[in-house]
Amino acid sequence: MKRMLLILIGMSFVPAFAAGQVVEEIVARVNSQIITRSEFLRSKDQLKDDVKQQDPNNADKLFSEREKDILRDLIDQQLPLEKGKDLGITGDTDLIKRLDQMRKDMKLETMEELEKAATAQGISYEDFKQNMRNQIVTQKVIGEEVGSHLSITTDEQQKFYGEHKNEMEQPESIKLSEILIAPEKPADKPTAAKPAENNTGGPNDGGDSAKNQATDDAAKQAEETAALAAAETKANELLKQIRAGASFEDVAKKNSSGPSAAQGGDLGVFKRGTLAKELEDKTFAMKAGEVTDVIRTKQGYVILKVTDHQMAGIPPLKDVGPKIQDALYYEKLQPALRAYLTKLREEAYIDIKEGYADSGASPNQTKPIETTAAKETEAKNLKKKKKKVLGIL
């Protein structure tokens, strides 16, 4: 079992001005990378916005509690990226796949169109790709270096289940899928215009008009009856195919008139009391995997499949096992990740400017000795960040 922890990395730069020049103060060095004061202030502003959205009434208190970790989190972002270089993880292949999937989701024909869409939103496409690459590298490093070493035993799952039973209690519910066959609506026919010679207000005009309307109504009623019969016939034919082994989901995608057709007819989960009584009586008496007969509804004829049926009460361990594993995994991941980042700090060269503090610092860290090469790399990185700042002015 291997799961990833998604760490979102947002790199943005806020310019500071002095005599018309952009001034970047370095608050921390992490190996060959630097963290500037503008990045620090940007993260601070972002934290203020986040806590306001999370809990407006306690925003000041939450900000005060988390403010001390701003620099720690910025350093945490850099450490896995540096480790990724050592492990030869570039993220290039996954980046291409993610961008292509994004293109498909946005229904764009080419990658050039995706780039134009990003630019139209005022986003630097190169920065956007770099941030996404950083996310991918971070996920892979944490997955390989931390997640893959975590294990969850049967005893741990059993203990968690026993301790959280009351939280797992649930009402009876079913998950449904549908195939709706709606009758074709007869085309509305315009009423025939009266001949000019009859527009004299003669005594027979009203009678002829009533006869014509009655004839039209009868014809329309006959068409509706025929369409309804055709829909019923088609629904019964589809039900016969399903009972013979055809995939309910495939049949729904190809034939259903309902809005859920593209999802194989999936309607979601329903608790007792949320369905019409006739449907509830039928479906709640069924087991998972069973299919109803053809049912007449206002929309036409429907076939329902119970894809899951959860009884009221506490579900057995086997039914909630995956959820328990996820809960235990993330419960273990947090301290394991913190320990791993502390270890990376001890292996890295980290220098913090006076007046700033890394709340995740290890007592075993050693202050780096600056070399000429390190200073040159730092100067290059600072120059790149200045160019990015100037590029958004």
Q: What is the pLDDT of residue 50?
A: 95
Start-to-end Cα distance in the chain: 47
Q: Looking at the predicted structure, is the pLDDT value of residue 347 above 60? A: yes
Q: Looking at the predicted structure, is the pLDDT value of residue 47 above 50? A: yes
Q: Mean of the pLDDT values across residues 116-125?
A: 90
Residue 375 confidence class, pLDDT cut points 50, 70, 90: low
Helix (H) or strand (E) segment spanning residue 80 = helix 70-87
The predicted-structure confidence for 207-216, as pLDDT tens digits, reads as follows 667 667 777 7
Q: What is the pLDDT of residue 100?
A: 94
Q: What is the pLDDT of residue 16?
A: 38
Q: What is the pLDDT of residue 390?
A: 38
The percent of residues above 70 in pLDDT, for the chain, comes to: 80
The predicted-structure confidence for 336-345, as pLDDT tens digits, reads as follows 999 999 999 9
CA 288, chain centre distance (Å): 27
Q: Is the dihedral of CA 151, 155, 159, 162 positive or negative?
A: positive
Dmax over Cα atoms in the chain, in whole Å?
112
Alpha carbon distance 277, 296 (integer Å) = 14
Nearest by Cα to 125 from 102, 148, 149:
102
Q: Looking at the predicted structure, is the pLDDT value of residue 3 above 90? A: no
Q: Mean of the pLDDT values across residues 97-126?
A: 91
**3-class DSSP state of 291:** strand
Q: Looking at the predicted structure, is the pLDDT value of residue 393 above 50? A: no
Q: Mean of the pLDDT values across residues 178-196?
A: 69
Q: What is the pLDDT of residue 366?
A: 77
Q: Over the chain, what is the mean pLDDT?
A: 84
The percent of residues above 90 in pLDDT, for the chain, comes to: 67
- Backbone region of residue 19 per phi and psi (left: phi > 0; alpha: psi in -120 to 50; beta: other values): left
Q: Looking at the predicted structure, is the pLDDT value of residue 21 above 70? A: no
* Backbone torsions φ then ψ of 302, nearest 5 degrees: -125, 145
Domains, the chain, with CATH or none: 17-162+317-391 (1.10.4030.10), 173-189+222-310 (3.10.50.40)
Q: At what angle do helices 70-87 and 37-54 cross, to 10 degrees?
A: 110
Q: What is the pLDDT of residue 217?
A: 72
Residue 3 or residue 34, greater confidence: 34
Query: Of the ranges 5-19, 101-115, 155-169, 373-387, which one carries the lowest mean pLDDT score?
Result: 5-19
Query: Of the ranges 25-34, 196-205, 293-302, which one carries the lowest mean pLDDT score?
Result: 196-205
Q: Mean of the pLDDT values across residues 49-71?
A: 94
Q: Looking at the predicted structure, is the pLDDT value of residue 367 above 80? A: no
Residue 7 confidence class, pLDDT cut points 50, 70, 90: very low
Residue 8 confidence class, pLDDT cut points 50, 70, 90: very low
Q: Looking at the predicted structure, is the pLDDT value of residue 158 above 50? A: yes
Nearest by Cα to 356 from 17, 14, 32, 40:
40
Nearest by Cα to 252 from 242, 240, 261:
261
Alpha carbon distance 94, 134 (integer Å) = 11
Q: Looking at the predicted structure, is the pLDDT value of residue 74 above 80? A: yes
Q: Looking at the predicted structure, is the pLDDT value of residue 302 above 80? A: yes
- Backbone region of residue 245 per phi and psi (left: phi > 0; alpha: psi in -120 to 50; beta: other values): left
Alpha carbon distance 97, 39 (integer Å) = 29
Specify whether the CB–CB gap between 219 and 173 falls below 8 A.
no
Q: What is the pLDDT of residue 107?
A: 86
Q: Mean of the pLDDT values across residues 130-138?
A: 95
The predicted-structure confidence for 250-290, as pLDDT tens digits, reads as follows 999 999 999 999 999 999 999 999 999 989 999 999 999 99
